[in-house]
């Protein structure tokens, strides 16, 4: 039992589930909206896991043949490629449906923010890091703005994302950050923010294709 609890993948799954549960219980959107958002989010989690194993097997085939357990060890590059791929593919599948629907877009933002907050709360509990504390403050602040103020009605979601990304990168500095026991370098986080910002800009202006069209 102790080995299971100490397993990084188990911790990641528990952290993720706690974040989703907290969001579902406290978010003020309708149950129908929350179920729709949660369903799409879990679909993307599934795509991410499949991408992790697929990319890892592709890039490290010889090593995995020699040491099968290697299939469960993911480098930061594998994690970054999988995250980037799912971000783009998920946007293609659901971009038009979510990014142009203000209620669902706001609900997605609150879900991701809540999950990020739970992640950094766990990181602070585990490492008592000043950086983790700063990330907690950042995520709590954004969640409060999304929940209790008309932020998204007065400020473009694109500008909110850019502002959040800049502060996130400033807190990181030259240090990597851990999300669900996966390590992301500052360059990886920057690239993900740039790609997501471009996708958000494109879908808000209806310039990008979507399967939901």
Least confident of 16-20, 37-41, 71-75, 149-153: 149-153
What are the tens digits of pLDDT across the range 134-183? 999 999 999 999 888 877 777 777 788 889 999 999 999 999 999 988 99
Report the mean per-residue pLDDT for the chain: 87
pTM of the full structure: 0.89
Output the CA torsion sign for 54, 71, 114, 134: negative
Q: How confident is the model at residue 83 (pLDDT cuts 50, 70, 90)?
A: very high
Nearest in space to 101 (alpha carbons), one of 177, 14, 37, 195: 37
Q: How confident is the model at residue 2 (pLDDT cuts 50, 70, 90)?
A: very low
Closest CA to 168 of 143, 121, 130, 131: 131
* Domain ranges for the chain: 2-204
Instruction: Give one DSSP letter per residue of 155-179, joined into a string.
Output: S-HHHHHHHHHHHHHHHHTTS-EEE
Q: What is the pLDDT of residue 72?
A: 82
Confidence band (pLDDT; 50, 70, 90) for 213? very low
Residue among 178, 185, 201, 199 at smallest CA distance from 85: 199
Give the distance from CA 192 to its chain's centroid: 10
Task: State the pLDDT at residue 98.
Answer: 67
């Amino acid at each position: 039992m102790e080995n299971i609890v100490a397993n990084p993948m188990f911790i990641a799954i528990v952290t993720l589930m706690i974040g989703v549960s907290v969001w579902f219980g406290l978010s003020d959107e309708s149950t129908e909206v929350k179920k729709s958002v949660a369903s799409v989010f879990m679909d993307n989690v599934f795509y991410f896991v499949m991408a992790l194993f697929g990319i890892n097997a592709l890039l490290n085939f010889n090593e995995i043949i020699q040491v099968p357990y290697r299939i469960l060890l993911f480098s930061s590059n594998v994690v970054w490629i999988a995250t980037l791929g799912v971000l783009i593919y998920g946007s293609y599948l659901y971009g038009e449906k979510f990014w142009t629907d203000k209620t669902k877009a706001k609900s997605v933002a609150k879900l991701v923010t809540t999950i990020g907050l739970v992640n950094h709360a766990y990181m602070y509990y585990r490492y008592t890091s000043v950086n983790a504390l700063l990330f907690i403050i950042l995520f709590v602040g954004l969640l409060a703005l999304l929940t209790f103020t008309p932020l998204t009605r007065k400020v473009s979601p694109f500008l909110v994302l850019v502002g959040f990304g800049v502060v996130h990168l400033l807190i990181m500095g030259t240090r990597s950050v851990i999300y669900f026991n996966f390590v992301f370098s500052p360059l990886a986080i920057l690239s993900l923010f740039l790609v997501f910002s471009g996708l958000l800009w494109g879908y808000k202006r209806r310039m990008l294709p979507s399967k939901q069209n």
